[in-house]
Amino acid sequence: MSQEMNVGREYGDWLEELDRGSPPDPLTAALDELYADGPNPQETAHAQERLRRAMASAGKERIYYDVLKTSPIGPVYLALSARGLVAIDFSDGEEAFLSRIHKNIGVYPIQSSERMTEAVRQVEEYLAGKRADFDLPIDMRFLTDFQRAVLSAVMRVPRGEVITYGALARAIGRPKAARAVGRALGSNPIPIVIPCHRVLASDGSLGGYSGRGGVRTKAELLRLEGSL
């Protein structure tokens, strides 16, 4: 047997002994375990959904969003275009919020805490009773002319005051449209900042409210502002 073959056999025997006698490297063991288990199905599905949404929104206007995780009315989701706020939601959770924006605007928003810092901060301060007014631009491009008229009028109702649906209808020059005004308020995409909670029924009752908690939340917002 040649000298080269002897050296090769001795080297192979040494590697086998080393493999049997040495504990595995922790990093290698962890990687082996990770690859053996495969990717987390939930994380994979989430990544695939984010990719699908990004592809669906490619080439379109970008909308960003973030969430105020803790507040007196629960989690609050906010979305922002290059022109201003397009949505605030605290009713059905994140997936419903994202789907609603896609339906109304045609794009899926991208989560960005950095871009949403100021909007989230102001809403948080308001709900904590530390802010009376908002200093945030609002983007109403995606609303009908009637919705814009109603929501612009309700923004002129001062904090601490209320108005009825009928009075709001008269304010926009549509005195017989109180019911339509109610529907426009019920679909308000930017509640709290656009204060639809300040509108009451003609008998002074709270009427309806589409946010989480319904009229209970409406009453809480009015109490926060000193209206009740």
Which active-site residues does the annotation give? 196
Query: 205: helix, coil or strand?
Result: coil
Q: Confirm if 169 and 181 have CB atoms less than 8 A apart.
A: yes
The Cα–Cα gap between 207 and 164 comes to 9
The Cα–Cα gap between 87 and 103 comes to 12
Which residues on neighbouring strands pair with residue 103, listed in sequence order? none
DSSP H or E segment with residue 86: strand 85-89
75 dihedral zone (left: phi>0; alpha: psi -120 to 50; beta): beta
The Cα–Cα gap between 22 and 16 comes to 10
Could you tell me the two tokens for 182? Answer: 């109610």
The Cα–Cα gap between 117 and 68 comes to 10
List of long-range contacts for 216-219, beta carbons under 8 Å, 24+ apart: 217/73, 217/90
Listed residue (193, 227, 177, 188) closest to 211, CA to CA: 188
